[in-house]
Amino acid sequence: MTPRQPRSGLKSRYLAATAGLSAAALTIGASLLYAHSTSALSDRALTIGLLVTFAAAGAGALALVAALADGFSRPLRAVVASLQKSASGNYEAAAEVGSAGELRELEDAVNAMRISLRSSTISRDYLDRLLSGMGEALLITDAAGRIERANAAASELFGLSEPELVGKFTNELIISGDRRRADGAASRPREGSVPRPDGTAVSISYTIANVHDDSGKVESTVFVAHNIDERKRVEQRIRYLARTDPLTKIANRMQFQHLLQQSIARARRTQQYVAILYLDVDRFKDINDTFGHAAGDTSLEIFARRLLEDLPENSHAGRLAGDEFAALLSGYDRLEAILKQLNELAPRVLQVVGKPFQVHGEEIFLTASMGIAVYPRDGDNVIDLLRNGDAALYQAKKAGGNCFEFYSTDMNTAAVERLMLKSKLRRAFERDELRVHYQPKYRLTTGRLEGAEALVRWDLPERGLVLPSDFVPLAEETNLILQLGDWVLNRVCADYRAWQRLVLSPSRVSVNLSLRQLQQRRFLDQVRETFRTHGVSPTSLELEITETTLMEEPERTIRVLDALYGMGLHLAIDDFGTGYSSLSALQQFPISTLKIDQSFVRDVAIDRDDAAIVDAIIQMAHSLQLEVVAEGVESEQQLDFLRKHGCDFAQGHLFGDSITAERFGELLIAEADGTGKHRALFGLPPGLVGDDSASAGLVSAP
């Protein structure tokens, strides 16, 4: 800002005018006196002249006084006008003192005050707008907690206008959610509620901040609060979902275990008894497959409702998993009383849940199996009770279902082992405990090794090799079968690639395929990617599928198998004869091989019926252009029968146990050079090492 040039003041100008007037009067007086001394003026003329001169000087002096007064009053009026405008909110009108230099400081002070007031007003207005626009409720109180100011959000939250809020105490408006008063010291966020005039209550989260003066004393307090009703509803919904099964609306597994834990703790204090009923819907998969998953869900809802309605008071029900449920009974003082109640309740529950019902116009029959365990007789904690109830349920299932069993200690060993295997199976992949062994397969017309069946084994450190019959069903239950199937296919392809470095054609390897794998959406893509990754041709492998798997979803299965066949994979029916399909029904599938189950082969040399069945299967399979493999060949008598009746291939313990990939590689080399150890079984002489025909299958060393 450019400084203004200094101006002469009214005082100096008045003095200069007065000096000029005085000088003029003196000059005139002196002239009159001089004229009188020279007799130019008479006495009378002198007197008149002096009087006129003094009168004129006096009039001039009065005019100067009036001008001086006006010179000061006009700037003062301008200053007053500027102050009055500032007082009314107009801070744009500047104070101008004109030529009055003596009022310059006053002008500057007034203008500085005007500018300061304007800045303060703008800041205050901005602050007011800011507070009014805040989404959080704001209360400002004095040191005693009396509200001095509130914003619009506070009025909305508390249901009172700002004038109604001013003067009230905060502890009258806010009910703190803990023991601290709402008007307490500054704190971290706390929760409370606000009772509104319309009778409703609002949940809030609020913070408190104290404002201190220069001496450190609290002179005011600021409360900031916001409505958390929606968050509370969301939290309540989350808690509900975390504890409740969304389909049946009863307790889920976590909540049921929590309720069971509470009941056990209460029973331990009061020396009472608690019982759990562990239920599983019989053949629930059939309902899903026959009527669809929507009907299955409806069936589970009806099952849960019927179970809950038939339980005694103070009982609880929960859904533990898919079609597994549990009920909890407590408050019994004597073991005899709870056992009597259970013996009456269990058959009634099974009868009630087993009543037929209609779903989408279809009548559905539902039965269940039940296992019962009692605290503290059968376990003194949640884990033991559930495990033993599950063991009793397993026995009820084995008995045919639609019945109940009480837990007994002899059930525990098998149940514990089963549960432990489930747990360990999940870690078997990480610990590299799985193995693939190979069961050699021989062509009966030539006696040559022509492939193998891949058999997965579990090398459990504390137990040794676990057979597939012991752990594959567990893999099916836990859905690990998908991971297991993928692992086996990758392992076989890797082994096959290694054998190709030893012999030109390691022949064909069979791999078992489960229903779960076929049902995967990306199964075909995964198979293609596996072959591409390992650089193995799909024609090198054969996939084995059971009759049951083929007939589960025939239309979809045909599409998947056609796609696999189109890749070049060979397809075989495993364990033929154990299912309910006929050879004619299997014609629709792109099958090239049929494997006769070992249960028919076992007595084929001594039992006429088995012999007739095996012969019929071989003849019918050949009529359909299918090759036949006999499983479980253990004796030379069985081998002779199969060769005589035209069976194409055989595998079994007669040719040795299943072997590792390394030993099978050695077997391939021995077969290629004509030194295979099983040639004598087929009446073949041992080949000579280095014979051209024998060594044709060997890969020459680089």
Q: Is residue 111 part of a domain?
A: no
Give the pLDDT band (50/70/90) at residue 580: very low
pLDDT at 666: 92
Least Cα distance to 305 among 288, 320, 321, 317 occurs for: 317
- Parallel, antiparallel, or unpaired: how do β-strands 627-630 and 593-596 relate? parallel
Q: Are 507 and 449 in contact (CB under 8 A)?
A: yes
Regarding whether 332 and 194 lie in a shared domain, the answer is no
pLDDT at 689: 37
Per-residue pLDDT tens over the stretch 303-340: 999 999 889 888 999 999 889 999 999 989 999 999 99
Regarding whether 625 and 490 lie in a shared domain, the answer is yes
Among 360, 389, 407, residue at a domain's last position: 407
Q: Is residue 106 part of a domain?
A: no
Q: Are 160 and 197 in contact (CB under 8 A)?
A: yes
Q: Are 506 and 499 in contact (CB under 8 A)?
A: yes
Least Cα distance to 186 among 150, 169, 211 occurs for: 211
CA distances from 77 to 95, 99, 101 (A): 9, 14, 15
What is the distance between the alpha carbons of residues 304 and 316, in angstroms, rounded to a whole number? 11
Cα torsion 652, 653, 654, 656 to 10°: value is: 110
User: Of 81-90, 99-108, 457-466, 488-497, which gets the smallest average pLDDT?
Assistant: 99-108
Least Cα distance to 9 among 71, 82, 64 occurs for: 71
Regarding whether 287 and 214 lie in a shared domain, the answer is no
pLDDT of 628 over the 90 cut: yes
pLDDT at 697: 47
Regarding whether 316 and 212 lie in a shared domain, the answer is no
**CATH classification of the domain holding 225:** 3.30.450.20
Q: Is residue 4 part of a domain?
A: no
Q: Which among 3-17, 422-436, 489-503 has the top mean pLDDT?
A: 489-503
| Count of CB atoms situated within 10 Å of the CB of 336 | 10
**CATH classification of the domain holding 286:** 3.30.70.270
Regarding whether 622 and 519 lie in a shared domain, the answer is yes
Among 233, 263, 289, residue at a domain's last position: 233
Which tokens go with 261?
């834990």
pLDDT of 163 over the 70 cut: yes
Regarding whether 81 and 213 lie in a shared domain, the answer is no
In one-letter notation, the amino acid at residue 263 is S
pLDDT of 649 over the 90 cut: yes
CA distances from 558 to 118, 291, 420 (A): 87, 21, 38
Least Cα distance to 10 among 52, 82, 55, 70 occurs for: 70
> 């495990």: which residue's tokens?
387
The torsion region of residue 436 among left (phi > 0), alpha (psi -120 to 50) and beta comes to beta
Which tokens go with 579?
């299912």
Higher per-residue pLDDT: 609 or 692: 609
CA distances from 400 to 219, 299, 304, 349, 369 (A): 81, 21, 22, 17, 9
Q: Is residue 276 part of a domain?
A: yes
Regarding whether 287 and 188 lie in a shared domain, the answer is no
pLDDT at 72: 61
pLDDT at 504: 85
Q: Is residue 425 part of a domain?
A: no
Among 83, 101, 119, residue at a domain's last position: 101
Regarding whether 591 and 468 lie in a shared domain, the answer is yes
| Mean pLDDT, residues 425-454 taken together | 91
Per-residue pLDDT tens over the stretch 189-239: 788 888 888 888 888 888 888 888 888 888 888 888 888 888 788 777 767
CA distances from 672 to 37, 665, 689 (A): 170, 11, 9
| Count of CB atoms situated within 10 Å of the CB of 221 | 24
What is the distance between the alpha carbons of residues 426 and 478, in angstroms, rounded to a whole number? 9
Regarding whether 458 and 576 lie in a shared domain, the answer is yes
Which DSSP category does 587 fall into? G
What is the distance between the alpha carbons of residues 331 and 655, in angstroms, rounded to a whole number? 64
Give the pLDDT band (50/70/90) at residue 120: low
Regarding whether 327 and 256 lie in a shared domain, the answer is yes
Q: Are 630 and 465 in contact (CB under 8 A)?
A: no
Alpha helix segments (H runs only) across 166-228 = 170-173
| Count of CB atoms situated within 10 Å of the CB of 226 | 17
**CATH classification of the domain holding 576:** 3.20.20.450
Q: Is residue 525 part of a domain?
A: yes
Q: Is residue 238 part of a domain?
A: no
Give the pLDDT band (50/70/90) at residue 701: very low
Q: Is residue 651 part of a domain?
A: yes
Which tokens go with 194?
């606000």
Q: What is the mean pLDDT of the chain?
A: 81
What is the distance between the alpha carbons of residues 372 and 384, in angstroms, rounded to a whole number? 12
Per-residue pLDDT tens over the stretch 511-564: 998 888 888 888 999 999 999 999 999 999 999 988 777 777 777 888 899 999
Q: String of b and e for 277-305 (b: at least 16 CB within 10 Å)?
A: bbbbbbebeebbeebeeebbebbbbbbbe
**For the whole model, what pTM was predicted?**
0.47
Structural domains counted in the chain: 4
Per-residue pLDDT tens over the stretch 468-510: 877 887 887 777 888 999 999 999 999 999 999 999 888 899 9
Regarding whether 565 and 489 lie in a shared domain, the answer is yes
87: containing domain: 10-101
| Mean pLDDT, residues 118-144 taken together | 69
Which tokens go with 506?
């390691």
Regarding whether 294 and 402 lie in a shared domain, the answer is yes
